Chain A
Amino acid sequence: MTAVAIATFDSEGAWLRARTRAIAAGHRVVGEWLPYASKAIGSGEGRGGILPWALTGGAIGGFGLFALECWTAIVSYPFNSGGRALLSWPAFIPAPVEFAALTAGIGGIVAMFVQARLTRLTHPAFDWEEVAEASRSSFVLALGCTAGDDANAAVALLANAGATHSRVIGL
């Protein structure tokens, strides 16, 4: 790949149109940037779930704390507290429940960081000012091209599809 044709669109519709045409014309989409979570990108469930992470986190936190409660109250230093049973399990439930929620959240956010490839403060994409547009208002589409004429064709296609702006970036 020698060049990239990149274009910005001011609406979800225009971007989708261009996308389908480009793919039909055999172009390869090398990058997309959106100003909001369009329904078009689908939920992508199943592909690397976040839920399992959250559940694991929650389980560790919840059961961990409950186990700690039982151990301290029964094994480590048992007390007669108002004649209650040493294993007052109903009273042991609230704290772990709350804590489980927290650890689940933590598990989830870790998963998200991993899957969203975050913590990449520097990234080649940031060299293209179009990408900066995306986070504020525009839909950005980048097509990978092999040769110069190919690139020009791609740019033309994007322009026709209603791009507010499009250009070729040589690599």
Chain B
Amino acid sequence: MAQLFRPGANTLVRAALACVVLAPLLLFLLGMTIVRSGYVTGEGRFVDQPVPFSHQHHAGDVGIDCRYCHTGVESQANAVIPPTHTCMTCHSQLWTNAQMLAPVRESMASGKPLAWNRVNRLPAYVYFDHHVHVQNGVPCAACHGDVRRMPLTRQTASLTMGWCLACHRSPEDRIVAPAREFEGDPYHGRTANDRAFAHAVMAHIVASGRKLTDCTVCHR
């Protein structure tokens, strides 16, 4: 009887068997990488804005304090995007007819709000509270990066649950002394002061019996 298969068949079938085992494994690894990539998480993503607002210019060069616009950050959950009115406090004097500020003036005139595009986006079922973080020494930069160096605002963290947990599991080395929360790069050169405050906060958390990895800390 003649051979049913060509000699190559043996190798072929062995290769095939190998694939049966390896292919799913590879696909799995590929998936794991993709979901963690910026492509999915949006880490490092720039977002166009109706007005090309530069944190570098306002917060960095001019040196306006974060809290001047984000008025809620120390007192409530929502850090607050400033109303058009806030922009106009300066821009009614400065650059009063700069083309790039036209939308701001238009909004002030028409009373129609500016539609800023969200940069740091959390799912709707995640409840983040700004003031409890800031008041306990978690600097803006921990999540938002050094906005003083951002001509256009960029998402600097992956904002995945795993990323949040990393900090909630060991906050102490993310906490800085009260004064430094609003610095651009507070983690650069941590002082004994920082460590002392971090220690105090940790002590409070432990004493309060709160568990920062409880689901209800973020989800309701």
Q: Write the residues of chain A forming the contact surface with B, with a CB cutoff of 8 angstroms.
A: 77, 119-122, 126-129, 131-132
Contact = CB atoms under 8 A, between A and B. Distances in A.
Contacts of B6: 122
B14 A127 contact: no
B2 interface: yes
Interface string B1-34: 1111111011001100100000000000000000
B86 interface: no
A132 B3 CA distance: 11
29 contacts: A77-B165, A77-B213, A119-B10, A119-B13, A119-B14, A119-B17, A120-B10, A121-B4, A121-B5, A121-B9, A121-B10, A121-B13, A122-B3, A122-B4, A122-B5, A122-B6, A122-B7, A122-B9, A122-B10, A126-B1, A126-B3, A126-B4, A127-B1, A127-B2, A127-B3, A128-B1, A129-B1, A131-B1, A132-B1
A127 B1 CA distance: 5
Given A119-B14, A131-B1, A132-B1, 10 more contacts: A77-B165, A120-B10, A121-B5, A122-B4, A122-B5, A122-B6, A122-B7, A126-B1, A126-B4, A127-B2
A131 B14 CA distance: 23
A27 B36 CA distance: 68
A136 B208 CA distance: 78
A120 B14 CA distance: 9
Secondary structure at the A interface, as helix, strand, loop or mixed, is loop
A153 B182 CA distance: 102
A126 B1 CA distance: 7
Nearest to B8: A122
A123 to B, nearest CB: 8
A108 to B, nearest CB: 15
A128 B17 CA distance: 28
A128 B13 CA distance: 23
Contacts of B14: 119
A99 to B, nearest CB: 16
Contacts of A119: 10, 13-14, 17
Which of A119, A126, A128 has the largest count of B CB atoms less than 10 A from its CB?
A: A119
A73 B17 CA distance: 35
A88 B6 CA distance: 56
Contacts of A121: 4-5, 9-10, 13
Nearest to B13: A119
Nearest to A131: B1
A132 B1 CA distance: 8
Contacts of A120: 10
A62 to B, nearest CB: 19
A136 to B, nearest CB: 12
Nearest to A120: B10
Nearest to B211: A80
Contacts of B13: 119, 121
A56 B121 CA distance: 48
Contacts of A129: 1
B74 to A, nearest CB: 31
Closest 9 CB pairs of A and B: A129-B1, A121-B9, A121-B5, A122-B5, A132-B1, A122-B3, A122-B7, A119-B14, A119-B13
A29 B193 CA distance: 88
A167 B165 CA distance: 77
Nearest to A78: B213
B213 to A, nearest CB: 7
Which of A126, A128, A129, A132 has the largest count of B CB atoms less than 10 A from its CB?
A: A126
